[in-house]
Amino acid sequence: MTSLPIDTAKFTGIICAVPPAPRVANRETGQLRVDRETGKTMYQVGLCLMAGASADVVNVSVAGEPGGVQLGMPVAVRDLVATPWENEGRHGIAFRAAEIRPLSAPATSAGKGAGQ
């Protein structure tokens, strides 16, 4: 399915609502999910997306640990996309970003970043 880009400039604020946690691929073994392109561990961050008088919390996946991101902290999100999915009669929207960082931290260029 096609990923749809989300213009984060339209939000009045983006706050970390759930701190970063590694995504588990296999609950029985505890194996972590890994990004196919970079080999980095996938993390999930709950973000509160605010626009005017409304706010929604969505779980966003990102490759590599989003350093310095903590609960309640304003964050910047680079290249946020939404991808519709369907599996065995269930469906939803998966969110993924190229980078999530504290709003006060400098942006990294694509392809760079610290390990896993």
Please give the average per-residue pLDDT across 107-111, as a whole number. 58
* pLDDT, tens digit (0-9, with 9 covering 90-100), for 31-70: 999 999 999 999 999 999 999 999 999 999 999 999 999 9
Q: What one-character-per-residue DSSP string does 66-97 give?
A: -TT--TT-BEEEES-EEEEEEETTEEEEEEEE
- Give CA–CA dist 106/101, Å, rounded: 8
* Whether 63 contacts 31, CB under 8 Å: no
* Whether 43 contacts 23, CB under 8 Å: yes
* pLDDT, tens digit (0-9, with 9 covering 90-100), for 71-82: 999 999 999 999
Q: Tell me the backbone φ, ψ of residue 10, rounded to 5 degrees.
A: -75, -15
Residue 60 class from Cβ within 10 Å (0-12 exposed, 13-18 middle, 19+ buried)? buried
- On the question of pLDDT at 8 being above 80, the answer is yes
- Give CA–CA dist 116/104, Å, rounded: 22
Share the mean pLDDT of the chain.
91
Residue 108 DSSP label = P
Q: Domains of the chain (ranges plus CATH)?
A: 4-102 (2.40.50.390)
pLDDT of residue 108: 66
